[in-house]
Amino acid sequence: MTQKYKVILRAEDLNASALFILFEMDRDHFPTPWSKEAWYKVFFSVGQRLLLIAEEDDVILGFALFDITSADSFAHLLKIVVGPNVRGVGIGKNLLSASIMVLKERNIKSFFLEVEEHNSHAINLYESLGFKIIHQKKQFYSSGTTALIMTLNV
């Protein structure tokens, strides 16, 4: 069993069943999941995206989804989700590191993300890769919780 990463740069490269699996993972394992409509809108709208999928034996273990602004050499982490049965073994860190490397190869130099202020596991992951907290957004999430804004320049 070997873990592999699949880079998806265009919506056409992602089949409907894989998109549904990503939607289900988001819905079942992310504190603020998106609706099906939001998934469709983000992934199939005009704009540049990077989706990196971690899989093993054709089973999706997790994914990272970025919005890219090439003109400004800028990427926004929209989602990173790892299934609960494989958490704590480095898949999230590997997904994020691999995504940053792929984006650096496309001349992306700045990254930013939002994370719930009480999500210490995610904050520790981001800080371990060099992200810094630069701001707080009160009541950012639909639940009313505060988001920390984190950035990384490479």
pLDDT tens digits, 92-137: 999 999 999 999 999 999 999 999 999 999 999 999 999 999 999 9
> Which residue out of 5, 40, 116, 126 is catalytically annotated?
126
User: pLDDT of 57-88, one tens digit each?
Assistant: 888 999 999 999 878 899 999 999 998 888 88
What is the maximum alpha-carbon separation in the chain?
43
pTM: 0.89
Which one of 5, 114, 117, 127 is the catalytic residue? 114
Asked if residue 91 lies in contact with residue 82, where contact means CB atoms within 8 angstroms, the answer is: yes
Question: What digits encode the pLDDT tens for the residues 127-144?
Answer: 999 999 999 999 898 888
Q: Which residues contact 14 (CB under 8 A, 6 or more apart)?
A: 8, 43, 51
In contact, 38 and 29? CB cutoff 8 Å = no
Pick the CATH number of 3-153 from 3.40.605.10, 3.30.1330.10, 3.10.20.30, 3.40.630.30: 3.40.630.30
Tell me the domain boundaries of the chain. 3-153
Give 56's contacts (C-beta < 8 A, 6+ positions apart). Answer: 1, 2, 3, 4
24 is annotated as an active-site residue: no
Q: Which residues partner with 50 through β-bridges?
A: 66
